[in-house]
Structure 1
């Protein structure tokens, strides 16, 4: 298992308690930082590493100088771990042409942010659940002999008073080095992971990620293989944090309607600065586009398709009428928990949280009224993998260039 030191540690150690937003001009891949010195020394002294160095010495200079392939690590395994407020997700993949092929995956609802809105701390029960999931991830990383990995934690660990302590405990008990990323980095990775699913066209687009503890909205400039972020915003309302912030309904239809209206008001107020900034762009454009990555949009898309059970192949990349998604949201908001629980693709885990997701989605449709909504069952993990693979390939190419220079000299 390989891990590298958290980039931008000073920025990541800040507690992000309020809204974040800003203009971003740079959207380039960033090369991951290397592991700490102790890990490098340990790896260097291992028997496998010693044998590899000796083998390398005996064959050095025998290969033609210009035969190094672009993807020299095409059989290496790379991993991305995303620890969110509600879920712990892992992807392990190998490069395949310009893309990658997933060879292992893991996902578990851990509810790390449960009670965080009220107490400002991660609870003991939530941390134990999460550690159990991370130990499974650590075993997968070892078994798959992962070449390079990046593990990130988002809003729950950003906001929690004891977030850094939990990160240290995870490192000690599992060996996984979690990087508490900023809201800006979270938005960047989400866009990198799913932008290829945008509806075709030249109009401006908003990509959003409804998480457990926060929601990121990103305005991108169309064109080019990797989009440029023009503006973005992150608000501390996700499906978990918003659910915890509004009093539970009294069991009546009127009570459910009042609670949903309060959720809509809170989210709309939070989005207001971003809405004002992007409004002129939306009005000036003949066609605008919208893409969402989250459990909310994939669940609603499943209901739209009337799937008996969740099918990623049917949902990932689907383009649906925005009004259809709004109608489903409004219907779910009026139903009781028991009624939602019986619906396919919702079940017990999402019966409570999906209402908050609907409120957030409708507020997004208010400020960016694209006629169609793209659905992505991909995001931060895929963004991490693309960044790791591309950066590693660039590093390998640089080494090959240096070696050629020495041979030619």
Structure 2
């Protein structure tokens, strides 16, 4: 088995009209073509290519998908937000098993926030909200570092937007396990003291609400370049880190969560698991979010 990743940051490559920029579209086409080539040379028998929030919500989504199909020779299937939440929940369930009981899962992507809850492999409640770290960075933070008033305004907006979905999630029942998935949560956990990735996937990692609040007070005063110097923060993620942390903080506060377990599996693994449930053939998964 091999793994190859590329960071596109499409959610930050959206213009004022809500369209993916030419630069973003070029990068997407190039990356999909590159990964398709890797699949062919690796002897991959089946290619699964999916797009998520940034492509799904873009005003020129159809045009961009046509470009990918025509220039890279690959048809991207666009996942709905609810599908993202449900597939990620499946991955979390399979990682922790049935003994975990009822699971509440939070996942922060570049374009959207997914929230899901349930006691089975398919969640009872699933939401996808336009609260991704890249999207909010683009829409809210023009200064580097962001100003205190802007941070306060974003906190208030997040709290208001989360009222209805989190009310439904809380009414669905009390979770036995609260989980965070995605690179954003892994990075936040690392910055608050969790073990590094080199320690392995099976090391238990957690993120606490108190640790997160302290971290936000620290990183919100730093520039993007300074945040990129922090251990565990990649240069291509440092710009989104403050917005991602604020989304995590607001979600945990709205749901009354004090501690999250960090799951190493997320959407990609959910896609693979769902495919394996119906077809045991090998495949390469490409996601463009």
Aligned with 1:141: secondary structure? Answer: helix
Aligned counterpart, 2:163: 272
Partners of 2:17 and 2:59 within 8 A in 1: no
Paired residue total: 281
Alpha-carbon offset, residue 377 of structure 1:
2.9
What 5-or-longer segments of structure 1 have no aligned partner? Answer: 1-102, 395-409
Partners of 1:117 and 1:241 within 8 A in 2: no
Partner of residue 90 from structure 2, selected from 182, 192, 198: 192
Partner of residue 216 from structure 1, selected from 114, 125, 131: 114
- Would the alpha carbon gap of residues 216 and 158 (structure 1) be closer, same or farther in structure 2, given more than 3 Å must change? same
What is the alpha-carbon distance in structure 2 between the residues aligned to residue 162 and residue 312 of structure 1?
42
Alpha-carbon offset, residue 261 of structure 1:
1.7
Please report the TM-score for the alignment, with normalisation by the length of structure 1.
Answer: 0.62
What 5-or-longer segments of structure 2 have no aligned partner? Answer: 282-289
| 2:11 equivalent to 1:124 | no
Partner of residue 183 from structure 2, selected from 295, 306, 310: 295
Partners of 2:133 and 2:241 within 8 A in 1: yes
Alpha-carbon offset, residue 279 of structure 1:
3.0
- Would the alpha carbon gap of residues 199 and 317 (structure 1) be closer, same or farther in structure 2, given more than 3 Å must change? farther
Q: Deviations over 1:268-325 (max 9, x none)?
A: 222111122233455xx4x642111111111112223376x75372587523444323
Q: Considering Cα pairs closer than 8 Å and 6+ residues apart, tell me whether 1 or 2 has the greater RCO.
A: 2
Give runs of aligned pairs for residues 131-142 of structure 1, distance below 5 A: 131-142=29-40
Alpha-carbon offset, residue 247 of structure 1:
3.9
Give runs of aligned pairs for residues 366-405 of structure 1, distance below 5 A: 366-393=253-280
What is the alpha-carbon distance in structure 2 between the residues aligned to residue 302 and residue 260 of structure 1?
22
Over the residues paired in the alignment, what is the CA RMSD in angstroms?
2.6
Partners of 1:248 and 1:259 within 8 A in 2: no
What is the alpha-carbon distance in structure 2 between the residues aligned to residue 355 and residue 322 of structure 1?
15
- Would the alpha carbon gap of residues 378 and 239 (structure 1) be closer, same or farther in structure 2, given more than 3 Å must change? same
Partner of residue 227 from structure 1, selected from 98, 121, 132: 121
| Greater C-alpha radius of gyration | 1
Aligned counterpart, 1:261: 152
- Would the alpha carbon gap of residues 123 and 117 (structure 1) be closer, same or farther in structure 2, given more than 3 Å must change? closer
Partners of 2:86 and 2:122 within 8 A in 1: no
Give runs of aligned pairs for residues 105-184 of structure 1, distance below 5 A: 105-116=3-14, 118-184=16-82
- Would the alpha carbon gap of residues 279 and 167 (structure 1) be closer, same or farther in structure 2, given more than 3 Å must change? same
What is the alpha-carbon distance in structure 1 between the residues aligned to residue 72 and residue 102 of structure 2?
43
Aligned counterpart, 2:2: 104
| 2:146 equivalent to 1:237 | no
Partners of 1:199 and 1:374 within 8 A in 2: no
Partners of 1:293 and 1:377 within 8 A in 2: yes
